[in-house]
Structure 1
Amino acid sequence: MSHRAPVQDAVISASEGLATLVGVLAEEHTVIGPTLRDGAIVLAELSAADDLPHGCGVELEAGRYRLVRRPDAMIFAHSAGPQSWKAYLHPQRERLWAVDRDTRGRLAFRAEDGEPPTYAFLGVRPCDLRAIAIQDRVLGGGPHADTAYRRRRDRTFIVAVECTDPGATCFCTSMGTGPGVGEDGPPAYDLALTEVLDGDGHRFRARAGSPAGERVLARLPRRTCDPATRAAARTAVTAAAEHMERAMPPVDLHTLMAGSHDAARWDDVAARCLTCGNCTMVCPTCFCTTTEDITDLTGDHAERWQRWDSCFDLDFSHLHGGPVRASARSRYRQWLTHKLGTWHDQFGESGCVGCGRCIVWCPAGIDITEEAAALHAEDQGSRATDEEAPS
């Protein structure tokens, strides 16, 4: 019996190929991808490839998001929207267990152990691909793994899409998380797509990154990837990196944050920060939660729920007598120094992937790259002053 070699690098069309892909994925998965809703490109369930945002782009700036019509039919030429994939893998609110008391006072506990959804994520950006890998380590690894997260993650099929048109607030290049998925090392996706639109037509370079991805790709109308398409795809990703408008300062951010505890810049940002927590809600790696216990009027039924929490919430650090971090200064400092600094101590890498969501969706337009640069400038100024001071 002959065995066909696995399909690993192919070309699929933006019409029939993409439509077939959604159909194949929908046979066994709930397909989630970008679509238009309420004046934004959001993540939602897709019923067909026509639900994708054909010909749509976005204009981004600090505290500003605007949907625009593109002059072409590109489907994924837009940067990350307000949601991240953690909304599906690490839901904003979920019940952990319920308990009922019968007439004899006996308690019956029921854990939430039903079958999790089987998702197929279509359109995962490289920055979000890294964010999922970070969540895998934080929530799915170690001796106290979140079993519900792990079960959802294990059942998820990921179709990554490389970025070819970054937004003005993107800075993934400086974080080493994009705009491409990378050619070296084990892939973190099942399929990777790169969109190409030129004189040879509208198409995708498609690469399989897992046995499941190979099986799906083998079912699509495709052809072997030709050198011209491969070169066009690589050129588009390279150009996206070169056109990135923002960047983190080229310093050791871990060391910078450790030495900036008393920086005057924290007072400046505190005067602007509303401590609303938007940055933590849209961040694809923020994972903090709290629990709530609720009961009915009889007291015979109770439930425990887990929901997202934010270090900007006063109650987040509440101990007997009040919150540990009562000021906006201390709460913003906690968020930024953890994200860029102490995250390294806990998890061995940065908690920022350069997606820029916290910049766009901050109502005060606070820019994390600007704040890091200001802290670096202040640190350099302090060092220069110390060197000039007489011994």
Structure 2
Amino acid sequence: MSDPEGVGRVAGGPAEAVLDRAGLEALVQVLRRRGRTVIGPTVRDAAIVLDELESAAELPYGWGVELEAGRYRVRRREDGAAFAHSAGPQSWKSFLHPERVRQWSADREPGGGLTVREEEQESAAYAFLGVRPCDLRAIRILDRVMSGGRYRDPAYLSRRTGAFLIAVECTEPGATCFCVSMGTGPAADAGYDLALTEVVDGAGHRFLCRSGTGEGASVLAEIPRIAADDATRTAAADGVRRAAEHMGRSMPPVDLRTLMRDTLEADRWDDVTARCLSCGNCTMVCPTCFCTTTEDVTDLTGDHAERWRRWDSCYDLDFSLLHGGPVRATPRSRYRQWLTHKLGTWHDQFDSSGCVGCGRCIVWCPTGIDLTEEAHALHREATGQEGTP
């Protein structure tokens, strides 16, 4: 593509432009030349997963997904779109807050001494390509949890600092998406370096791209592009608007924080926990769940030991274990803890909801428990409308 004059400039680079598929490939290569590890969606093992990309050709062009409670299937698309799929089994949490991190190791010396080495956190130069607006908000929530308070997590900061975020606005929500209810999408509002909106119509396959930071503008300046035109802007805006109007799920239009607080003794908790397996799948796929525990391991000689931090779940019976036993000994108490924290008391800790409306917990629940359905049921019970569908 050419770079005609008249393209808007911000911080020395273009603020908005249009890329074609070759431009998207150039974007990946520019980021790699800058020393960044590009992570994005690709098809593997009958799912759209996040992995390192060496080329934009590895993106899931022509693949979409079919979602429902407890169901996930990839499917072929006819339009060749690269980002017309909803959230998969992974989130960017997997890279910023990995499942297992070694904290220190220790070795017994021949003379009887002990050498302890704290694990050095390697800094990572990530570029995340294809961050949905809901996941963009999830990263901001993790930032608040992991680095916004008095106690900061060096392992998280080493990966998050300097990460380059390329958002992709949603134009086709999945059946389990409810980002509109949570105010997190489908448009990307802030927190990105570049934002893409994919357009596939009679005028061709292209991406409206806008920069949100000086570095984003600098990267965009190195990519073959054309000036953004009104037809592409309109098509992109229409796609995002239609997505907002066709969400697959919704939350009840009430203050969820108050709803959770006022329904702690509702009968509905018995109904949902009769179906809950306490497997913790919902916490594993959630892009904002952050709880961890530590485990110590040693070799067979006893001369070498390590401490690892790993993900934990409030569904685990031992999660609240004290000297007298677990605080939350029943599935009812554990499910209620998860949902009321996610939608309610998260506000008390972190000044926001802990839910971004991505729908992963619905899709990856083996029994198909739907937190939006549970919220509606709690609302109906609280207002005396238990029989209302």
Q: Which residue of 1 aligns with 2:5?
A: none
Q: Which residue of 1 aligns with 2:192?
A: 189
Within the candidate set 313, 323, 338, 2:326 is matched to: 323
Q: Which residue of 2 aligns with 1:36?
A: 43
Cα deviation, residue 4, structure 1: 8.6
Q: Which residue of 2 aligns with 1:251?
A: 254
Partners of 1:108 and 1:114 in 2: CA distance: 19
Aligned residue for 2:329, secondary structure, equals coil
Partners of 1:91 and 1:338 in 2: CA distance: 22
Count of aligned positions: 376
- Give yes or no for contact 2:171–2:239 (8 Å, CA) kept in 1: yes
The Cα offsets for residues 199-243 of structure 1, whole Å up to 9 and x where unpaired, read as 211110101111111111000001121111111111100000001
Within the candidate set 20, 36, 41, 2:26 is matched to: 20
Within the candidate set 338, 342, 361, 2:341 is matched to: 338
The Cα offsets for residues 44-94 of structure 1, whole Å up to 9 and x where unpaired, read as 111111110001111100000111111211110000101000000000001
Moved over 6 A (4+): none
Q: Which residue of 2 aligns with 1:284?
A: 287
Partners of 1:4 and 1:42 in 2: CA distance: 34
- Give yes or no for contact 2:121–2:154 (8 Å, CA) kept in 1: no
The AA in structure 1 aligned to 2:113 is R
Unpaired runs of at least 5, structure 2: 1-9
Within the candidate set 113, 118, 134, 2:120 is matched to: 113
Cα deviation, residue 105, structure 1: 2.3
Q: Which residue of 2 aligns with 1:365?
A: 368
Shift of the 103–17 alpha-carbon distance from structure 1 to 2, 3 Å rule, reads same
Partners of 1:381 and 1:118 in 2: CA distance: 53
Within the candidate set 119, 135, 141, 1:134 is matched to: 141
Aligned residue for 1:333, secondary structure, equals helix
The AA in structure 1 aligned to 2:22 is E
Partners of 2:11 and 2:264 in 1: CA distance: 59
The AA in structure 1 aligned to 2:294 is T
The AA in structure 1 aligned to 2:27 is L
TM-score (ref. length: structure 1): 0.94
Q: What is the Cα-based RMSD across aligned positions, in Å? A: 1.4
Partners of 1:379 and 1:282 in 2: CA distance: 29
Within the candidate set 312, 316, 336, 1:313 is matched to: 316
Unpaired runs of at least 5, structure 1: 384-391
- Give yes or no for contact 2:317–2:326 (8 Å, CA) kept in 1: yes
Q: Which residue of 1 aligns with 2:223?
A: 220
Matched, 1:65 2:72: yes
Partners of 1:140 and 1:6 in 2: CA distance: 30
TM-score (ref. length: structure 2): 0.95
Cα deviation, residue 255, structure 1: 0.6
- Give yes or no for contact 2:121–2:155 (8 Å, CA) kept in 1: no
Cα deviation, residue 382, structure 1: 8.4
Matched, 1:174 2:181: yes
